[in-house]
Amino acid sequence: MLNYIWAFMIIAGVVWAVLHGNIAAVTQGLLDSAADAVGLCVTMLGVVSLWTGILKIGERSGLIDRLARRLEPVLRFLFPDLPEDHPARRSIAVNMIANVLGLGWAATPAGLQAMKELAELEEERRAAPPGTASREMCTFLIINISSLQLIPVNMIAYRSQYGSAAPAAIVGPAAAATAVSTLAAVLFCRVMNSKNGG
C-alpha cells in the first residue's frame, strides 16, 4: 500500500510541475537530491564501517561477552522461557548492546541471527504451527524496535552531513525518547505475556 501512496505522490508532483511549467525545477531537484543521496551514503558508509569495526574489536577482546553477561538479569526478565544456555541469548545481547550504542546497522546481523535461533528453538518445541512467531520472537522484535539509544550515532552523522551547528544536541532528547519507548515496550510485553499465561 505504501508503494502505491509514494508512486501516486511522485506522479502527482511531476504532473503538477508539467501543468504549471516547473518541470525544470523538478529535474534540478531530482539531480540535487541524487547528489545529496550519494554524499550521505558515503558519509554513512564511513560511520557504519567505523562502528562495525569497533564492535568487532569489542567482540574479539571479550568486551561484548562481558557486557552480554551483565545483561543476563535483563534477558531473564524479558525472556523467562528462553533456556539459559541457548545461543539466542548472546545474539540478543549483542543486538541490544549495539542498539544502546546507537549502532542500528551494526545491530542488524545479530538481530537476524537471534531471530533465526529463536525460530529454531520454536521448531524444537513445536509449541505453535510452523511460521508462527513465538513469544520470545515477538518480545525481541518489540524491544528491538523501541531500541533504547544512549548515543544516536546515525542521527548525529545525518545532522553533521546536513550542516547542523550542534549535531550532538540530539543526544539528550533521543535518549529520553528511546527510554520512554523502551519502557512502554517492556510494559506491553509483560502485560501481553501475562494475559497469554506467561
Q: What is the pLDDT of residues 82-95, one digit of tens each?
A: 888 888 888 898 88
Residue 54: per-residue pLDDT: 80
pLDDT tens digits, one per residue of 145-175: 888 888 887 788 778 878 888 888 888 898 8
Q: Between the CA of residue 29 and those of 32, 36, 44, 61, 159, what are the distances in Å?
A: 5, 10, 22, 47, 20
Residue 5: per-residue pLDDT: 92
Question: Which residues make Cβ contacts (< 8 Å) with residue 73, sequence separation at least 6?
Answer: none
Residue 164: per-residue pLDDT: 85
- Res. 71: pLDDT tops 70: yes
Residue 108: per-residue pLDDT: 81
Domain boundaries, the chain: 40-195
Residue 180: per-residue pLDDT: 92
Q: How confident is the model at residue 128 (pLDDT cuts 50, 70, 90)?
A: low
pLDDT tens digits, one per residue of 95-107: 888 888 777 777 8
pTM for this entry: 0.70
- Res. 176: pLDDT tops 80: yes
pLDDT tens digits, one per residue of 37-70: 888 788 778 877 877 788 788 888 988 888 888 8
